[in-house]
């Protein structure tokens, strides 16, 4: 399959490139700088520039682009960048698809989104049918997903990847916690009662490939594992996997000092379930948190060896 990929340099994008190349797919990576390799093509999403011929040559387009939500302390400028880096890329791709004749359009667009769509769900489990919640990230997800609508209007199948917290030693939830837990100073965040919508990296990659081929699946898809846990349970299991104590607690006020406004989002409870994936027959290779964490720790140990 010929795949056009935006966001290939991110931690999920790099893993997806490795996976798809191993499977024999032909990849073209969209980059903002001048192209430096045969598998790269330049675009300028901030000004809506993308050569439609690049899109016409693809069977599928995958857009994972967007600055990291937790990479920097939030201020007005960074919040604007979080929003624009997602909306501009999604809109540029969707509009390019819409400009093409029907015969030249890619048959599927996998558009990144996030479980932030649901806001704080408390103890209430939610699937893809749940409405958008409230808060900054929920607002971002609404406009992010809406930006992909021109591709759907043009007849391309659009899948919105509402990703939770992929478990990998190089990014996401585990990267900032791995060292703390190995030192025995890891602990639950706040009261620990908030639900954590995790997913094993292997399952995220497999689900992405699965959705490329499932012509009967469109719209939002929760990219989360089938067994969400509370932060307190996550902490206990992670400590057990690493054979380290995990009895400390990071007070909410300390998170506010360290993270600013982002602390409120980090402490939100999101009991999100993979309704669409399960109904479509996707089989999780890491259906429990402990399995996913042990796989992530094995990867980390192998990289250090």
Helix H, strand E, coil C: the string for 188-239 is: EECCCCCEECEEEHHHHHHHHHHHHHCCCCCEEEEECCCCCEEHHHHHHHHH
What is the tally of structural domains in the chain?
A: 1
How much is the pLDDT for 174?
A: 73
- Does residue 240 lie within any of the structural domains? no
- Does residue 257 lie within any of the structural domains? no
pLDDT tens by residue, 246-269 = 665 554 544 453 445 555 566 789
* Rounded distance between C-alpha atoms, residue 7 and residue 66, angstroms: 7
CATH number of the domain enclosing 146: 3.40.50.720
How much is the pLDDT for 299?
A: 56
What pTM was computed for the model?
0.91
How much is the pLDDT for 177?
A: 72
- Does residue 280 lie within any of the structural domains? yes
* Rounded distance between C-alpha atoms, residue 292 and residue 281, angstroms: 20
How much is the pLDDT for 303?
A: 45
- Does residue 145 lie within any of the structural domains? yes
- Does residue 117 lie within any of the structural domains? yes
- Does residue 181 lie within any of the structural domains? no
- Does residue 265 lie within any of the structural domains? no
Handedness of CA 230, 235, 236, 237 (dihedral sign): positive
The average confidence (pLDDT) of the chain is 89
CA distances from 304 to 169, 272, 298 (A): 11, 33, 10
pLDDT tens by residue, 56-69 = 989 999 999 999 88
| Residue 257, number of CB atoms within 10 A of its CB | 10
What range defines the domain where residue 102 resides?
2-169+197-227+271-286
The ranges of the chain with pLDDT < 70 are 172-173, 176, 179-180, 183-186, 245-266, 299-305
- Does residue 192 lie within any of the structural domains? no
248 contacts 181 by C-beta, under 8 angstroms:
no
């Amino acid at each position: 399959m010929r795949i056009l990929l935006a966001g290939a340099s991110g931690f999920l994008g790099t893993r997806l490139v490795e996976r798809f190349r191993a499977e024999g797919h032909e990849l073209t990576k969209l980059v903002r700088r001048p192209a430096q390799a045969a598998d790269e093509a330049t675009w300028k999403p901030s000004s809506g520039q993308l050569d439609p011929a690049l899109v016409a040559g693809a069977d599928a387009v995958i857009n994972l682009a967007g600055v990291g939500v937790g990479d920097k302390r939030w201020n007005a400028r960074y919040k604007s960048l979080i929003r624009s880096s997602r909306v501009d890329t999604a809109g540029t791709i969707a509009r390019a698809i819409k400009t093409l004749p029907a015969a030249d359009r890619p048959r599927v667009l996998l558009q990144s989104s996030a479980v932030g769509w649901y806001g704080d769900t408390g103890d209430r489990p939610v699937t893809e049918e749940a409405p958008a919640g409230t808060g900054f990230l929920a607002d971002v997800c609404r406009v992010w997903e809406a930006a992909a609508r021109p591709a759907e209007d043009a007849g391309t199948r659009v899948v919105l990847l509402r990703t939770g917290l992929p478990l990998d030693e190089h990014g996401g939830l585990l990267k900032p916690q791995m060292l703390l837990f190995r030192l025995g100073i890891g602990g639950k965040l706040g009261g620990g009662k908030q639900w954590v919508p995790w997913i094993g990296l292997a399952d995220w990659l497999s689900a992405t490939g699965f959705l490329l081929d499932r012509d009967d699946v469109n719209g939002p898809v929760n990219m989360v594992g089938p067994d969400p846990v509370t932060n307190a349970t996550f902490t206990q299991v992670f400590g057990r996997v690493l054979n380290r104590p995990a009895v400390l607690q990071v007070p909410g006020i300390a998170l506010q000092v360290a993270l600013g406004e982002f602390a409120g989002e980090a402490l939100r409870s999101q009991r999100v379930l993979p309704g669409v994936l399960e109904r479509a027959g996707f089989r999780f290779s890491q259906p429990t948190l402990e399995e996913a964490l042990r796989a992530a720790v094995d990867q980390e140990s192998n990289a250090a060896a």
